[in-house]
Amino acid sequence: MSNSDPIRSAFDQLPLKEMDAATLVFAIESAVDELAIPGETLRLAMEVATLAHLDQFRKNGIKSDEDPYIVHPLRNVLRLLRYGCSDVEILSATALHDTVEDRPHAVIALLGGQTADDMSASEAQERASTLIASRFGHRISELVEAVTNPIDYPCDNTTAGYQDHVIRAIADPAVFLVKFSDFVDNAGSVKYLSETDRLRLVTKYEPLVEHFKRTSLALGNGLHLPPSGLDAIAKHIATIERDFSNTVRPDIKNTRE
């Protein structure tokens, strides 16, 4: 993505990990304008995500120990825009991708539904998904659901079941884009984190790297991205492989000693 406008060029050149929430929003708006994408649905999705994640924070490790959680889905959206993705439903699902899993009660309240103290976690997620479908359409709801981890998985998500869930989900091109941008943002944080957090992320994500690589090649033009976007995906995978290779997991270290 390039533009002779110096403001847009400045946004294009900013590293995503160095942007705060306000900068990300303006950069997204600039990219949406440049790609001539109808922005109403995406804006609403970003508003819902912002409010749903309002009291959540996330480890960053670059400019501060923690960031408002919303920077994570916003970075994912902007990353897809930089790949050249112009599918507003994929972009909107990316903005909402963690809301059903992490903040279903907030989604219910924001979208006008009724919640109850005795509502189970699975019931809350189902209700939130239904309301997203009503407000945003079934495709966006289905994409969010596809990247929502099953509720019975351990919170560390290191099980083979989690990996199988991701591998099956990313066979769909739209789901691949939502999940891959999320993967890059999570796995790409390794070099910024403490050793303990690095090892945790490598253990969780390393088994998936090869699957993302193979699937990206298999889907190819089915991702509906320009060649520059496909190249960017390949470069991100290569960078993650390099970062992971520089982090030795305890189980690997023990076999070398």
Q: What is the pLDDT of residues 179-198, one digit of tens each?
A: 999 999 999 887 777 788 88
pLDDT exceeds cutoff 60 at 199: yes
The CATH number of residue 44's host domain is 1.10.3210.10
Distance CA 99, CA 108 (A): 10
Residue 205 lies in a domain: yes
Domain contains 15: yes
Nearest alpha carbon to residue 111 among 85, 129, 91: 129
Q: Pairing state of beta strands 66-68 and 57-59?
A: antiparallel
Higher pLDDT, 246 or 7: 7
Asked if residue 30 is part of any domain, the answer here is: yes
Q: Using CA atoms, how far apart are residues 81 and 141, in angstroms rounded to an integer? A: 20
pTM (2 decimals)? 0.91
Give the Cα separation of 198 and 192 in Å (integer). Answer: 8
1 occurs within a structural domain: no
59: containing domain: 6-256
Residue 156 confidence class, pLDDT cut points 50, 70, 90: low
- Asked if residue 56 is part of any domain, the answer here is yes
User: 19 in a domain, yes or no?
Assistant: yes
**How many distinct helices (H) and strands (E) make up the chain?**
14, 2
**Residue 135 domain-assigned (yes or no):** yes
Question: Residue 96: which of 128, 58, 68, 134 has the closest Cα?
Answer: 128
188: in domain? yes
Digit-coded pLDDT (tens) for 160-170: 778 899 999 99
Using a pLDDT cut of 90, give the percent of the chain over it. 68
Number of domains in the chain: 1
